[in-house]
Amino acid sequence: MIKLEQVNKSYRKDSVEVRALHDVSLKIDAGEFVAVIGPSGSGKSTLMNVIGLLDRPDSGSYHLDDGEVASFTSDELAQIRNEKIGFVFQTFHLLPKTTALENVELPLIYSSRGDISGLGAQALERVGLKDRAQHLPSELSGGQQQRVAIARALVNDPEMILADEPTGNLDTRSGLEILAIFQELNRAGKIVVLVTHDAAVAEMAHRIVEIVDGRIVRDKPVEESKDAREVIANWAGSGDISKEVAP
């Protein structure tokens, strides 16, 4: 469970102060699938970085499960991040000279789990890329690279997946494949928090949180979430798919 209360975060550049998060209160329960939307510069990535323990709030409180994040040392934060949180980024962040499988296995190096053999291969299988284990990122399509990144995020079996514009660099079809994987992971019980500026993508979640100028301005359930697999199945493979996924 994620619980932010009155969280503020500012950045100072020269003499200009930007308030990236302004009294943000947000609670996300186990099993939720939340889309975070808002214009560029509104604070979405800052919010993800705070939730993902990559950045600390200036003020306010953040409870992750039962712990107050402010009370953790940086080592504790790193460990919690490794165990509980999987990140997926717009630009994949894969190591270029390293195979898909080795990329996926990277987080296991820091894991305190005992038997880790086979976990990387399992994670690749879960995203449908078992047969690409020995490929380098440059030998994979953008959609496949993002699936490798998702496998890497999954390899430690985290409670939550935080994805910042994960479909931003992908064509519509590949983006839908990624969304279908997030929907499956969510059905399997993981919290998914997905930043997007695409309204059609947000409709795949169960709840939409809108942020403008660092403030949450709207927080509403999605009445009938679109199923990404269904959209793919019903899509003829040509024409403008965004019409079919539009709210």
User: Could you list the residues that contact ligand ADP (CB under 6 A)?
Assistant: 11, 13, 18, 20, 38, 40-46
Least gap, CB of 156 to ligand ADP (angstroms)? 25
Is the CB of 102 or the CB of 213 nearer to ligand ADP? 213
Q: Which is nearer to ligand ADP, 45 or 144 (CB)?
A: 45
Q: How far is the CB of 194 from ligand ADP (least distance, A)?
A: 13
What is the closest distance, in whole angstroms, from the C-beta atom of residue 213 to ligand ADP in the complex? 9
The item of Mg ion, ligand ADP, none sharing an interface with residue 38, based on CB under 5 to 8 Å by kind, is ligand ADP
Q: Which residues bind Mg ion (CB under 5 A)?
A: 44-45
Find the shortest distance in angstroms from Cβ 161 to Mg ion.
17
Between 90 and 144, name the residue whose CB sits nearer to ligand ADP: 90
- Mark residue 14 as left, alpha or beta (left: phi above 0; alpha: psi -120 to 50; beta: remaining): left
Residue placing its CB nearer to ligand ADP in the complex, 56 or 135: 56
Q: Which does 11 bind (CB under 5 to 8 A by kind): Mg ion, ligand ADP, none?
A: ligand ADP
CA distances from 213 to 23, 26, 173 (A): 11, 16, 31
Tokens at 107, concatenated: 């987080």
Q: What is the smallest separation between the CB atom of 164 and ligand ADP, expressed in angstroms?
A: 7
Q: How many CB atoms lie within 10 A of CB 70?
A: 12
